[in-house]
């Protein structure tokens, strides 16, 4: 996996539809809008099979965000730690398969951001209701940090915190709206990030919820 610096990045910087959040992190405004309705319908179908649940951190706290997964493996946390697991611990069954509409969007968005051949094997699906937040963290349970993460926002808007590679780096705040995609990798791959408490609202496709898909190559 190569991260294309220079001309490619500059091309997208000046595109108008995209914004460089940091070297290696690109916000593609509205990139998922054309497939937003099938994305929401598909994630609702996945959640009907593998329900959203609030997992427990290794420190014993219940997470504010409700999560489920699809793909070969899913991200889970419990008292034993954070990990990718081929089995949904709630059902004792494999996660639902990765739908083509997820994998194709992630692949194409990653390519446009300079990451060729991105083939996600895991999609974490986050569900926020008013007041739900996600504290600053790094995504570092994957095997290959040369692979990017593709993040898709659906439903109610949220304020995303995007920091540096140290927890103490002051994060900048970025509003993420329905249909926005963020691709990050390269020098931004291990940046700290989080989501502020969701404001109440009503969205035509998602009701009083925000969904976020994060597609990764975990294995």
| Distance in angstroms (rounded) separating the CA atoms of residues 101 and 66 | 22
Q: Which option in Fe ion, ligand MD6, none does residue 68 bind, with CB closer than 5 to 8 A by kind?
A: none
Choose which of 36, 47, 156, 182 interacts with ligand MD6 (CB under 6 A).
182
In sequence order, what are the residues at sequence separation of 6 or more whose Cβ sits closer than 8 angstroms to the Cβ of residue 4? 114, 115
Taking the CA atoms of residue 25, residue 26, residue 27 and residue 29 in that order, the dihedral angle to the nearest 10 degrees is -170
The CB-of-135 to ligand MD6 minimum distance in angstroms stands at 10
CA 174/CA 156 separation, integer angstroms = 14
Question: Of all residues in the chain, what percent are helix, strand and coil, respectively (each to 5)?
Answer: 20, 35, 45
Judged by CB under 6 A, the residue of 107, 212, 217, 218 near ligand MD6 is 212
Instruction: Compute the least distance from the CB of residue 186 to ligand MD6, in Å.
Output: 13
Interface residue with ligand MD6 among 9, 126, 147, 161 (CB under 6 A) is 126
Q: What x/- string results for residues 3 through 42 when contact with ligand MD6 is judged by CB under 6 A? A: ----------------------------------------
Footprint (CB under 5 A) of Fe ion, residues 151-180: none
Please report whether residue 151 would count as binding ligand MD6 according to CB under 6 A: yes
Question: The tokens 């989501």 sit on which residue?
Answer: 195
Q: How many CB atoms lie within 10 A of CB 10?
A: 11
Is residue 149 within 8 Å of 216, Cβ to Cβ?
Answer: yes
Q: To the nearest whole angstrom, how small is the minimum distance from the Cβ of residue 12 to ligand MD6?
A: 17
100-112 helix and 36-49 helix, angle to the nearest 10 degrees: 130
Q: Which is nearer to Fe ion, 94 or 164 (CB)?
A: 164
Q: Least separation, in Å, of the C-beta of 219 and ligand MD6?
A: 17
Interface positions with Fe ion (CB under 5 A): 139
């Amino acid at each position: 996996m190569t991260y294309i610096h220079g001309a490619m990045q500059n091309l997208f910087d000046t595109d108008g539809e995209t914004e460089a959040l940091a070297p290696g992190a690109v916000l593609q405004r509205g990139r998922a809008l054309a497939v937003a309705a099938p994305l929401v319908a598909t994630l609702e179908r996945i959640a009907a099979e593998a329900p959203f649940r609030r997992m427990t951190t290794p420190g014993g706290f219940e997470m504010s965000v409700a999560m489920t997964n699809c793909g070969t493996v899913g991200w889970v946390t419990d008292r034993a730690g954070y990990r990718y697991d081929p089995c949904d611990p709630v059902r004792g069954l494999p996660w639902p398969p990765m739908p083509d509409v997820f994998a194709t969007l992630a692949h194409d968005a990653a390519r446009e951001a300079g990451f060729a051949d991105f083939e996600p094997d895991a999609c974490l699906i986050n569900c926020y209701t008013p007041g739900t937040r996600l504290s600053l963290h790094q995504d570092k349970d994957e095997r290959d940090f040369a692979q990017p993460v593709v993040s898709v926002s659906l439903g109610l808007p949220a304020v995303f915190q995007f920091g540096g590679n140290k927890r103490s780096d002051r994060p900048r705040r970025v509003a993420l709206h329905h249909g926005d995609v963020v691709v990050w990798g390269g020098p931004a791959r291990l940046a700290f990030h989080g989501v502020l408490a969701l404001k109440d609202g009503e969205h035509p496709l998602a009701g009083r919820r925000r969904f976020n898909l994060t597609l990764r190559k975990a294995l």
